[in-house]
């Protein structure tokens, strides 16, 4: 027995040392990302207009990097906090392996960053100092944006009002804090701008840029998309009032998805969603609410929404999956039973 324990102890020591060496290696060797290029993005009226449209209505920068009213319909952004970061995404809300408050992206925080460093963050997922970012920041998606669109976003976020705010640093659980370092990599050549006359190409580009799948494709316990469930909905978001919100099935399934929606109905649904959200209606704890970015996407152009519709209808497999979009908290009496 004694020798067995000695052996077991030795084995554990070896394991621990190997583990430490492994994590030391991860620390030193990753992330494998080249230094940021040193360039300046020229700000032009065209870029500011395009960048504003992308940042506000397509890529969702402010949806994550701002604070929100939790007691109003659609959790609208607090205008004065636009870009300041701070809204907490964590285990409770969406099963994340840690707590992330998106950083401040107003000039207050980014004033010392070069444009090359911001572009590298958006394409490769490392911060100014080369630290890996957790891919809740959708850099894998942003790496597929064309150069002109990325430059437009940079020109625009440089122009917004600085807001003084220092959100808490990201805290990731072990071992994700090490694994996250292995994800960022150089993004390679820029893809060409999408052909705006080809609705499917444009739709593919926009659905990626807007990270629709990040909410609408359910994932397993490790955050990996469930096979065969692309855009089939059902991922759970747990809100502090005890309610659960689930993104809808937006596959072309006729019964449980958007299979019988016309393009016109689809576009009108976004316009109506925006109108409802803009009303700022107070919502009491336990009443229906949604985190679909209706106010942002609801102001996309008819052409862009139409292209997204074409993509969903033609490039996505219909999946029969019934999703209950909202479950109110269990009432006092129900939980007392
Ligand atoms: C789904 C939420 C989400 C969206 C959408 C998003 N971000 Fe982020 N972003 C984050 C999170 C979370 C982090 C921090 C990640 C970490 O610390 O590991 C981050 C980090 C950053 C950083 C690094 C800042 C720093 O101080 O380290 C920049 C710059 C940034 N985002 C810019 C943008 C821009 C520009 C857009 C839109 C094109 C955008 N983000 C869209 C969640 C998001
Ligand atoms: C932050 C998470 C999130 C993102 C990102 C998101 N959605 Fe949603 N979406 C939801 C939720 C939650 C619902 C269900 C509640 C509702 O209908 O408002 C929903 C509902 C919808 C509906 C209504 C479906 C129905 O049956 O009524 C459509 C259409 C839709 N989303 C399309 C999209 C598209 C297209 C994108 C990308 C451009 C997208 N969503 C991105 C969360 C999201």
Q: Contact at 8 Å (CB) between 125 and 133?
A: yes
Assess whether pLDDT exceeds 70 at residue 336.
no
Q: pLDDT tens digits, residue range 153-173?
A: 999 999 999 999 999 999 999
- pLDDT band of residue 2 (cuts 50, 70, 90) is low
For residue 89, which ligand has an atom nearest its CA?
1
Amino acid 27: pLDDT: 72
211 Cα nearest atom in ligand 2: 5
Q: Render pLDDT for 274-321 as a digit per residue (tens, 0 to 9).
A: 999 999 899 998 999 999 999 999 999 999 999 999 999 999 999 999
- Separation of 222 CA from ligand 2 center, angstroms? 22
**Cα–Cα distance, 303 to 53 (Å, whole number):** 14
4 pLDDT exceeds 80? Answer: no
Nearest CA to ligand 2 atom 12: 247
pLDDT tens string 78-129:
999 999 998 999 999 888 999 999 999 999 999 999 999 999 999 999 999 9
Report the residue among 216, 235, 289 best suited for mutation to probe ligand 2: largest number of ligand atoms under 8 A from its CB.
216
3: pLDDT strictly greater than 80: no
The pLDDT assigned to 333 comes to 44
pLDDT average, residue stretch 215-233: 95
Q: Which residues contact 73 (CB under 8 A, 6 or more apart)?
A: 276, 277, 279, 280, 281, 282, 283, 289, 290
**φ/ψ bin of 223: left (φ > 0), alpha (ψ from -120 to 50), beta (otherwise):** left
Ligand 2 pocket mutation, candidates 202, 212, 292, 309, criterion most atoms within 8 A of CB = 292
Pocket test for ligand 2, best of 213, 215, 237, 252 (most atoms within 8 A of CB): 215
Interatomic CA distance for residues 190 and 202, integer angstroms: 16
* Mean predicted lDDT score pLDDT of the chain: 92
Nearest protein Cα to ligand 2, atom 42: 292
């Amino acid at each position: 027995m004694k020798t067995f324990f000695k052996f077991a102890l030795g084995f554990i020591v070896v394991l621990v040392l190997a583990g430490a060496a492994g994590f030391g290696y991860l620390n030193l060797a990753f992330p494998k990302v080249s230094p940021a290029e040193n360039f300046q993005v020229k700000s032009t009226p065209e870029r500011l207009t395009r960048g504003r449209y992308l940042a506000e209505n397509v890529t969702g920068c402010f949806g994550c990097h701002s604070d929100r009213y939790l007691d109003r319909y659609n959790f609208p952004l607090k205008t004065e906090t636009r870009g300041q970061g701070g809204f907490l995404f964590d285990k409770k809300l969406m099963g994340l392996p840690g707590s992330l408050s998106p950083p401040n992206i107003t000039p207050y925080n980014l004033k010392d960053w070069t444009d090359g460093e911001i572009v590298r963050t958006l394409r490769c997922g490392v911060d100014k100092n080369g630290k890996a970012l957790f891919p809740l920041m959708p850099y894998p998606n942003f790496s597929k944006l064309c150069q002109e669109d990325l430059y437009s976003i940079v020109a625009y976020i440089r122009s917004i009002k600085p807001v003084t705010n220092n959100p808490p640093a990201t805290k990731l659980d072990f071992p994700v804090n090490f694994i996250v370092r292995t994800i960022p990599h150089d993004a390679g050549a820029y893809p060409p701008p999408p052909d705006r006359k080809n609705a499917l190409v444009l739709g593919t580009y926009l659905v990626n840029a807007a990270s629709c799948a990040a909410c609408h494709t359910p994932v397993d316990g490790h955050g990996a998309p469930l096979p065969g469930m692309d855009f089939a909905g059902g991922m759970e978001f747990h809100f502090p009032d005890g309610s659960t919100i689930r993104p809808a099935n937006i596959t072309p399934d006729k019964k449980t998805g958007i299979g019988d929606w016309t393009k016109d109905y689809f576009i009108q649904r976004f316009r109506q969603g925006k109108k409802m959200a803009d009303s700022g209606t107070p919502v009491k704890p336990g009443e229906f609410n949604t985190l679909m970015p209706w106010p942002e996407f609801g102001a996309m152009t008819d052409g862009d929404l139409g292209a997204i519709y074409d993509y969903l209808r033609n490039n996505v497999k219909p999946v029969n999956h019934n999703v209950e979009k909202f479950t109110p908290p269990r009432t006092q009496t129900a939980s007392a039973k």
